Amino acid sequence: MILGPGLLHFSRINAQTFDLNPPDYYSFEPVFTRAYIVKNKIRTVKAAISYKRDNEPILDKGICKCWEYDENGLLKRYYVTSVRGFISHEVEHPAVYHKGRRIKPSWVSEEPTYLYDTIATTYLYNSNKQISLKRTRDGDYYNAIYYEYDPEGRIKKQSVFRETNASENRNIFRLGVQNMLSSEEFRYEKTSAFQVKRKHLNDEGKTYKESIMNYDSIGRLTEENTSYTVSWMRASTKLKYDKSGRLIQKSTSSNENGEENNHQEFKYVPDTQLLDVEQRYEGDVFVHELNYIYDRQTKMLTSHFTREEREKAIVIVRYTYEYY
């Protein structure tokens, strides 16, 4: 049986830590699988992020990400902090003495106090544990996407709204003004035993884009090709799995912003489902390598390191957990 995109996501979840091909309603990385969250009874995952250029000390600006889950392993809230600026202030350093002799005079240095922005996204679900609403707070406004599904568990409608919060408490949302920005419907057609065509309809009910999705014999997506009906724009995604069912390569190409061809390669800890190394390429140019570190006993993710080849730097991410 061919599974639609919505149903496929929940059906394929296994013991892997990450979903390496997550649905579009997630816009961050990594995406933890529901099985990983449930198995370990995780309430929150927090990621502290620091940065180190070659031959320089580690720079920690206090940037972090956080995922909050309910007891069923469903993501309730995700937020990320980012630096929006800084204020410099003077710090006076006293003179340094050794055995009563001054070896360094006092000095004044300029040090930053960072100013932060936090972008938070809340997720709500329907009775089938499918995401029905994704709402992201951006300052005083909220960008909300509502999802509807067909009987096969596939998204049939996606509506985007700009909303305001009528509650005086910013942590409690009460719908105020709501303006629709766009609406998109999806129609599915099974064209063969292992192929599905998805039509994208705009808010006038006209098809403006089509996607052809190919699956293997056990329902895994292997290829998706998308084209626009009134232009030459197209995009393609190809997925390759090993004998153990692990995703080992993901290739994407598109001409929407000029000709782009990218791919990712995934390597695993031997005899496990644990992702070990992820390498990313733009064309034939190597740009990133991500290395994942796990606790030896619990096998839970403790950190990952991203080598940014162009910047000659490493992004260091350390994970901590809270449990039910």
| pLDDT tens-place string over residues 58-68 | 888 888 999 99
Cα separation, 32 vs 53, whole angstroms: 28
Q: What is the CA radius of gyration of the chain?
A: 24
CA distances from 176 to 112, 131, 132, 140, 241 (A): 38, 22, 19, 12, 47
22 φ/ψ angles, rounded to the nearest 5 degrees: -70, 160
Q: Looking at residue 14, what is its pLDDT?
A: 44
Q: Looking at residue 296, what is its pLDDT?
A: 92
Give me the residue label for tokens 């509506």: 159
Check whether 273 has a pLDDT greater than 80.
Answer: yes
43: left (phi over 0), alpha (psi -120 to 50) or beta: alpha
Q: Looking at residue 86, what is its pLDDT?
A: 58
- Can you say how many angstroms the Cα of residue 178 is from the centroid of all Cα atoms in its chain? 26
152 φ/ψ angles, rounded to the nearest 5 degrees: -85, 0
Share of the chain above pLDDT 90, in %: 65
Q: What is the mean pLDDT of residues 270-285?
A: 94
Amino acid letter, residue 13: I
Amino acid letter, residue 121: T
Q: What is the mean pLDDT of residues 24-40?
A: 88
Count CA atoms within 13 Å of residue 232 on its CB side.
4
Cα separation, 324 vs 322, whole angstroms: 7
Cα separation, 268 vs 117, whole angstroms: 35
Between 20 and 85, where is the model more confident?
20
The domain ranges of the chain are 5-88+109-323
Least confident of 92-96, 189-193, 262-266: 92-96
Q: What is the mean pLDDT of residues 79-104?
A: 79
156: left (phi over 0), alpha (psi -120 to 50) or beta: alpha
Cα separation, 28 vs 82, whole angstroms: 14
Q: Is it true that domain 5-88+109-323 has CATH number 2.40.160? A: yes
Q: Angle at the Cα of 212 (from 208 to 217), degrees rounded to 5?
A: 160
Check whether 116 has a pLDDT greater than 80.
Answer: no
What pLDDT digit, counting tens, does each position of 214-262 carry?
Answer: 999 999 999 999 999 888 899 999 999 999 999 999 999 999 888 899 9
Q: What is the mean pLDDT of residues 24-53?
A: 91
What residues does 52 pair with on adjacent strands?
314
Query: What is the number of residues in the chain?
Result: 324
- Can you say how many angstroms the Cα of residue 17 is from the centroid of all Cα atoms in its chain? 13
Give me the residue label for tokens 């920690």: 60
What pLDDT digit, counting tens, does each position of 42-56 carry?
Answer: 999 999 999 889 988
Mean pLDDT (the chain, rounded): 88
Check whether 142 has a pLDDT greater than 90.
Answer: yes
Least confident of 30-44, 109-123, 263-277, 304-318: 109-123
Check whether 1 has a pLDDT greater than 70.
Answer: no
List the alpha helices (DSSP H) in the chain.
5-11, 34-39
Check whether 28 has a pLDDT greater than 80.
Answer: no
Check whether 115 has a pLDDT greater than 70.
Answer: no
Share of the chain above pLDDT 70, in %: 91
Check whether 6 has a pLDDT greater than 90.
Answer: no
